[in-house]
């Protein structure tokens, strides 16, 4: 187990057999990410110190120049020693990532846009910030990110 120091604010632990992103998520830290497979670049962070190994990813997600500057993709990086990393925009008061069941309440088609209303469990309430997005997880391991269009004050939908 190694200690990861995040943006000089907090620490968490990571095992050598899990990615830094997976370790952070396991400990309820909400770090920026999307694909979790080295394709989107959303989990890019600056490595300040420590030994690491970065696994498979696509070139588009992080350039050679960024790697030379010490940047890594946390979704495919494993710690080989204690690490100090800097995650731009990290907010330790961010809402935790949660997985919830949802029921389709309504689908409204307007021109080439579909407005999908999802009914969520009443408790615990689903809290989010304006402008946040969610990942819809569907059968067959299909996942896709969508923006939340309504304001956070509309309870349960």
Binding residues for ligand FES, rule: CB under 6 A, are 33-36, 38-43, 61, 73, 75
Determine how many CB atoms are found less than 10 A away from the CB of residue 17.
Answer: 7
Closest to ligand FES by CB, 22 vs 148, is: 22
Minimum separation from the CB atom of position 24 to ligand FES (A): 12
Compute φ and ψ for 83, nearest 5 degrees: -125, 150
For 11-57, the DSSP string reads EEEE-TTS-HHHHHHHTT-----SSSSSSS-TTEEEEEES-EEE---
Minimum separation from the CB atom of position 156 to ligand FES (A): 29
DSSP classification of residue 151: -
Among the listed residues 3, 4, 98, 96, the one whose alpha carbon sits nearest the alpha carbon of residue 45: 4
Minimum separation from the CB atom of position 49 to ligand FES (A): 21
Minimum separation from the CB atom of position 76 to ligand FES (A): 7
Closest to ligand FES by CB, 54 vs 118, is: 54
How far apart (Å, rounded) are the C-alpha atoms in residues 135 and 97?
A: 10
CB nearest ligand FES: which residue? 75
Closest to ligand FES by CB, 73 vs 118, is: 73
Closest to ligand FES by CB, 35 vs 85, is: 35
């Amino acid at each position: 187990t190694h200690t990861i120091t995040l943006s000089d604010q907090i620490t968490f632990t990571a095992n050598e057999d899990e990615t830094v992103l997976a370790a952070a998520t396991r400990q309820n830290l909400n770090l920026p990410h999307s694909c979790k497979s080295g394709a989107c670049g959303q989990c890019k962070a600056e490595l300040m110190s420590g030994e690491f190994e970065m696994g498979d990813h696509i070139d588009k997600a992080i350039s050679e120049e960024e790697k030379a500057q010490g940047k890594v993709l946390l979704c495919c990086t494993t710690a080989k020693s204690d690490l100090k990393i800097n995650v731009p925009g990290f907010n330790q008061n961010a809402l935790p990532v949660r997985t919830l069941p949802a029921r389709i309440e309504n689908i409204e088609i307007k021109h080439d846009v579909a407005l999908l209303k999802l009914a969520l469990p009443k408790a615990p309430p689903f809290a989010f910030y304006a402008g946040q997005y969610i990942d819809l997880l569907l059968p067959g391991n299909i996942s896709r990110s969508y923006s939340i269009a309504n304001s956070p004050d509309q309870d349960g939908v």
